[in-house]
Amino acid sequence: MEKTNPVLSSDLEAAKNQFENWRSGKRSSREPIPQNLWETAIALSHKYSIYKVSKCLRLNFTDLKKRFDGKEYRSVTRRQPETFIELPWEKPGVSSECIIEMEDEFGCRMKMCFRGETRLDLLELGKSFWNKTR
């Protein structure tokens, strides 16, 4: 089954043709890519992903990324630094405190101490104390 290539945009197609012309005319396989072709690839990396550019132009992804990340080439759509937002915070008021002490006729004692809001059902705790098996 043959893979069909999607239609490339005109700027990617033009760059691909420039690279193919250079590759067909070079004298040795070790000849470095000219600076003007690297600049073309880097300029396209501002518009398209580095992966897409490297794949289309048959470049080493890591080499292109290193050149793109260089100090002279920075993405135009760089994120703005995040700003610190201070939210108002009020010191909590005096917390409530509750102490419950129970003693049955046999001298068994139960003491419960709570500070602040409790999510326990205090009535059920008391019932379980009074209804314990003797």
Contact predicate 38/67, CB 8 Å:
yes
Instruction: Tell which residue, 2, 86, 6, 11, has the closest CA to residue 42.
Output: 11
pLDDT tens, per residue, the chain with 134 residues: 445 455 678 889 999 999 999 898 888 888 888 899 998 998 898 888 888 999 999 998 888 888 877 544 444 445 566 666 676 766 666 667 778 888 888 788 888 887 777 777 777 877 877 776 55
Place of tokens 């990324």: 65
Strand 109-115 relative to strand 97-103, pairing: antiparallel
Neighbouring C-beta atoms of residue 18, cutoff 10 Å:
16
Distances (CA, A) of 13 to 8, 49, 57: 6, 15, 9
Helix (H) or strand (E) holding 126: helix 122-130
